[in-house]
Amino acid sequence: MNLRYKIVVFNFLLLSFSLFSQSKDSTVQQNIKSKNAIFIEGLGSSASFVSLNYDRIIFQSEITKLTISAGVGLFPVVDKENIAHKNVYYIYGLPVSTNLLLGKKKHYAELGVGVSYSKGLEASFSSTGRVVLSEMLFLVPRVGYRFQRNQGGFFFRIGFTPLVLLKNYTYSQFIGITPIKTFTPYGGICFGYSF
């Protein structure tokens, strides 16, 4: 079965589960006021060193919430061959994800899936003047914990976010370039504010 098809089916099932599990009681809906969050993530879903993200609760019931999030990440790379000039290059990451939160009040188990597009300079060969530009697409599942108060305020989450390489647009036959693994165990920690 095609991986893209699996991703679409998984997101459809996740959305369907959330829609059908919504409570009919409107007071539950009114109690959850902090539907938005802005946070900084170290490592995590952007395949970057640090990222700035926005998260929005789009569906909710008494014990489940469905969120979508997007952000922009940055990964600094030091030119190891030309360390005297201290050249630093950057790889940018653009993560987008859907997350299912299970729990009540402020403590949630978090399950999610997303994709992250990554582009930037991967290596520089100063002696030859050649550079290698990196461009990749990753599938990023998430299993973790989230702390988010219903009234807003401090936001925290931590999770296991392995990177699964879907597409590598980078072409390189230079010696010394380490090939990207198709599966990389990864994790992230987030601090932010919900409102």
Residue 180 pLDDT > 80: no
Q: Is the pLDDT of residue 114 over 90?
A: yes
Averaged pLDDT for residues 70-84: 76
- pLDDT score of 46 more than 90: no
Model confidence at 176, pLDDT cuts 50, 70, 90, reads low
Domain extents in the chain: 3-22+33-194
Quote the pLDDT of residue 6: 64
Mean predicted lDDT score pLDDT of the chain: 80
Q: pTM for this structure?
A: 0.75
Q: Model confidence at 26, in pLDDT bands (50, 70, 90)?
A: very low
Question: Which of 177, 79, 52, 71 has its CA nearest to residue 117?
Answer: 71
Cα–Cα distance measured from residue 131 to residue 124, given in angstroms and rounded to the nearest whole number? 4
If you count them, how many residues does the chain have?
A: 195
Q: Residues 146, 192: contact at Cβ < 8 Å?
A: no
Residue 5 pLDDT grade (very low, low, confident, very high; cuts 50, 70, 90): low
pLDDT given at position 81: 61
Name every residue whose Cβ is closer than 8 Å to that of residue 128 and which is 6 or more positions away in sequence. none
DSSP 179: P
H helices, E strands: number in the chain:
2, 10
Q: Pick 3-22+33-194's CATH classification: 3.40.50.300, 3.90.1150.10, 3.90.25.10, 2.40.160.20.
A: 2.40.160.20
Six-digit token pair at 95?
């993560």
What angle is formed at CA 67 by the lines to CA 64 and CA 73, rounded to 5 degrees?
Answer: 145
Q: What is the distance between the alpha carbons of residues 5 and 15, in angstroms, rounded to a whole number?
A: 15
Give me 185's structure tokens: 């165990």
With 80 as the cut, is the pLDDT of residue 130 above it?
Answer: no
Is pLDDT of 38 > 80? yes
Give the rounded percent of residues in the chain with a pLDDT score beyond 70: 67
Q: How far separated are the first and last CA of the chain, in Å rounded?
A: 40
